[in-house]
Amino acid sequence: MTKILIVDDKPERYREFIEIAFQKGMQKNDFVFIRDVAGATDLLRAEHYDVLVVDMCLPQNAWDHPTSSGGPTLFKIIREDPEIKFPRYIIGITAETEKNTEIDEIFEKNPWVLMRTQLGVAWESILYNLVEHSVKAALVEIQAGFGVDVCFISALKDPEFTALQSQCPDLKAPEPIDASATCYRGSLKLADGSDASIVGAYCLRMGAVEAALLSAKLIAKYRPRIIIMVGICAGREDKVAYGDIIVGSPVWDYTLNSKIIGEPGKDKKTLPGPDYISIDRGLLSKIDIFANAKNFFDMIHSNWQGEKPRHAPSFVTAPSATGPAVVADPDVFKQIKELSHRDVKGIEMEAYGVYAAARMAANPKPLFLSIKSVCDYGDFLKDDKYQKYAAYTSASSAVEFIKIHYPSIKNDR
């Protein structure tokens, strides 16, 4: 059954829209109306809707007066509340004819539609066409379902992808993604005895743009249930040690700015505008459990025969910044700490691209995850001594996590 939630304090204005929908074959049970932000929040936490229609002028509670901040408040909750079951498609409605910066920014930064209901426009028919298209698209996506179980991606072939293949011996069969990209397919034996289908690929060069483009191709073709970035990163020396494994959450592009201000004869001022992307809350709970597998981390440290740090790695979930260049300057961590996130522990070049591609993917959307190991501290002493070890601990941890926790991840989705 199609589920459409309409949030508006004046549901009577949808009488003609409902009549059109019924004439076209939709049913009464397809629609749910709620008048306020609090009520809509409760419904979105309890149930998943195919289409959400939101008036921009809403009361916070049933007994309040509607305000222009009501719709934006609901959208903020939808983006930030981990208990919200995210609707497949979102349509905003406003009767305002003048520019509203707050509302315009919401729809400029998200893949949602804003419909204006000015006088003289048959908005009911337009709204029905939008809802009908959204419902049909949702049905196509549901029928498509997920394809492969897990997709692994790395920045480069060596040492990261080579390390991944050492942990996934069956990941050896190359095949073209399209005319310009190649991946490898195989399977992985899980802890419960079942097999997971896997795809692995590496970028031809480092950087978030390359990672985003390759991730988008992989997601579109193989529809993985989860996509995981593996590889190496720089770590903040006062927070992590060589070889420590960082799960990036949140991840953001630390070069992303909201505005550059400059006056004649004065220095320019850059205002940061980071876009933080966090991993799924349910996935995070499984990561927290895995982080306590001390025997496993002791074992992989002991098994490594090459250059390695004195102690076994720790497995931590922490803020990790993505940037456009290899860092060999201790001031970069200091600047990121001051301008973006005080608890930043990692810097690397690709994870934000992977996360952004997964976030923008069509349904069914994959879960996303970055598991990268610290090979240096991003300072002038930077060298390649621990790169292979870090690539190995990253790949080993990612594969072991999937072996143990993928069965429950699959059941959850």
Residue with tokens 């609901």: 74
DSSP assignment of 149-212 equals SEEEEES-IIIIIHHHHHH-TTTTEEEEEETTEEEEEEEEE-TTS-EEEEEEEE-SS-SHHHHH
Structure tokens at 256: 């992303």
Q: Per residue in 96-144, pLDDT tens?
A: 777 777 888 888 777 788 888 775 567 888 888 888 887 777 676 666 6
Which ranges of the chain have pLDDT less than 70?
1, 119-121, 138, 140-144, 257-271, 328, 380-382, 413
Residue 286's pLDDT is what? Answer: 94
Residue 366's pLDDT is what? Answer: 94
Instruction: Report the C-alpha gap between 355 and 347 in whole angstroms.
Output: 15
Q: Which domains does the chain have, with CATH numbers?
A: 4-144 (3.40.50.2300), 150-412 (3.40.50.1580)
Question: Which residues neighbour 362 within 8 Å (Cβ) at sequence distance 6 or greater?
Answer: 141, 220
Residue 234's pLDDT is what? Answer: 93
Q: What is the pTM of this model?
A: 0.73
Residue 339's pLDDT is what? Answer: 84
Count other Cβ atoms within 10 Å, centred on residue 74: 24
Q: Per residue in 156-199, pLDDT tens?
A: 999 999 999 999 988 887 889 988 889 999 999 999 999 999 99
